Structure formats: structure tokens, C-alpha cells
Amino acid sequence: MDTEVIGALANEPHYSTDQAMVEAINQAIVQPEQELLNVNLRDGRYWWSTRLFLLAALAEDYSRVQQLVFMEQGGARIFVGMAPPSDIRRALARQWPTLEQSYQEIKSNPPDPPDWPDASLIARIVYGWTPHGFYRDSAAVSEEELKEKVNPSSLHKWLLAMGKRLTTESVDWHGISRPYIVRSLLFEFDSPYVALLRHRQLDRVVNRLDLALRVARRALR
């Protein structure tokens, strides 16, 4: 199962994007079988690096999400690649150590938002993120001053700096599970997850281990 989470636009009220992030993580917690979170980079000016870090940290700490699945170009859903939340979190923290420091500070003492009564711990962490304050070169800066826009090139660069890469393994298909596609998924890839694409557009992601188990059970009937 997967879901898509909204990022942060400079000209968009933070409340709407905060709420979407909280709902996405809460859904992943309520549905522990959820393995994927879709992140649509749109035109490369939509997601903030600071918010992507927060999403990755929350997904790693509070859900069983295994992969953040990146797309671009909005509704076209052009597949970019995928990576574990832990890799994204560490890559961004390597670039901006203040992100992990701020996250741990908020996590250990989350604020109680007055306009979100009975807010969950996750909601309080998200709510406290923007006003918490960050540092760059020992100077206090706002989230908007610290952030960079996330596009496929910058994402690759940040991951490569710590020796990681996006998984881009994929298969072109037409919506029908033919035997040759199943064989390809089982024997021709190393990654535990492979994307199924229709003309570069992300259709779904296959868990190869789950597929192998289903094939084995069917063969033993």
C-alpha cells in the first residue's frame, strides 16, 4: 500500500502542508502494512529540503514505511527513484546538521499547539518544526532561509555525498501480469522493490519478496 504526502510551497500556508504530513504518517501508523510513501517533486520547486527531512525522520521513527517513492511533473507521475527514509534523513542531515539537532530537540520536548486540541505526538512535532529555529554557520535562520528546493538532481547529489543512490529499477508494463514480467521481477533485479511504469509514469511498486511468496504458495497448491 502507498499514499502521497504534500510538501511545502513558499507561498502556501504551512498549516495545510503540516496537516497533510501528519495525516500521511498517521495513516502509515494505523496501517502498518503500508510500505511506501509517494513524494511528488512536481516541477522541482515544490518540496523544501527541510520538510523532506522531517517527513523522512517521522517515517523512520514512527512507521514501517520502507521506501519513499519519488516522482516529478505532478499528475504525469514521472518516476524518479526510491530510497529508504533513513537514507534520505541522513543525507539531508549530513548537508544540514541543524535539521537532526532541531528534530531531536522538538521530539524530546514537543510543543502543545493551541489550535490543535488533543494533538498527537507527531502533530506536535510537525507543528513545532517551523517556529523552532535553525542554524547555519552558527547564525540563527528561519526554515525558509535554510531550505533548498528539492529536484531530482539535488536529491541525487545529497545521497551521493554519503555513498547512497536512489533505486531506479523499473519494468515497463501494460497493466497485465504476464509470466515474463513475473520472471523478470523475480530473477533480474537486486532491489527488494521494483517500479512498474507505463511510458515512464509510475503505476505501482512491487515488493519482490512478497511476490516470490505468492508465487511459491500458488505453486504448492
Q: Provide the pLDDT for residue 115.
A: 67
Q: Provide the pLDDT for residue 68.
A: 95
Q: Provide the pLDDT for residue 5.
A: 46
The answer to whether the CB of 84 falls within 8 A of the CB of 53 is: no
Rounded distance, CA 149 to CA 159, Å? Answer: 15
Nearest residue to 6 via CA among 128, 178, 126, 183: 126
Rounded distance, CA 189 to CA 202, Å? Answer: 18
Average of per-residue pLDDT across 177-195: 79
Q: What is the percentage of the chain residues whose pLDDT exceeds 70?
A: 82
- Above 50 in pLDDT, residue 1? no
pLDDT band at 123, cuts 50/70/90? Answer: confident
Average of per-residue pLDDT across 80-94: 97
- 519494468: which residue's cell? 171
Query: pLDDT, tens digit, for every residue of 16-74?
Result: 467 788 888 888 777 888 899 999 999 998 999 999 999 999 999 999 999 999 999 98
pLDDT band at 134, cuts 50/70/90? Answer: very high
- pTM, two decimals, is 0.86
H/E element, 140: strand 139-141
Rounded distance, CA 211 to CA 117, Å? Answer: 43
**Number of continuous H segments (helices) and E segments (strands) in the chain:** 9, 9
Radius of gyration in angstroms for the set of CA atoms belonging to the chain, rounded to a whole number: 18
The answer to whether the CB of 66 falls within 8 A of the CB of 34 is: no
Average of per-residue pLDDT across 130-146: 92
Q: Provide the pLDDT for residue 220.
A: 67
CA atoms within 13 A on the CB side of 206: 26
Rounded distance, CA 159 to CA 166, Å? Answer: 8
When the pLDDT of each residue in the chain is averaged and rounded to a whole number, the result is: 84
What is the sign, positive or negative, of the torsion defined by CA atoms of 81, 85, 91, 96? positive
Average of per-residue pLDDT across 150-172: 95
Between 163 and 123, the higher pLDDT residue: 163
Characterize the bridge pairing of strands 78-83 and 67-72.
antiparallel
- Above 70 in pLDDT, residue 2? no
Reduce the DSSP state of residue 147 to 3 states and report it.
Answer: coil
CB atoms within 10 A of CB 205: 20
Q: How many degrees, rounded to 5, is the angle at CA 168 between CA 209 and CA 179?
A: 50
- Above 70 in pLDDT, residue 114? no
Rounded distance, CA 144 to CA 126, Å? Answer: 15
- Above 50 in pLDDT, residue 177? yes
Q: Provide the pLDDT for residue 8.
A: 41
Q: For residue 139, which amino acid is it?
A: A
Average of per-residue pLDDT across 120-135: 90
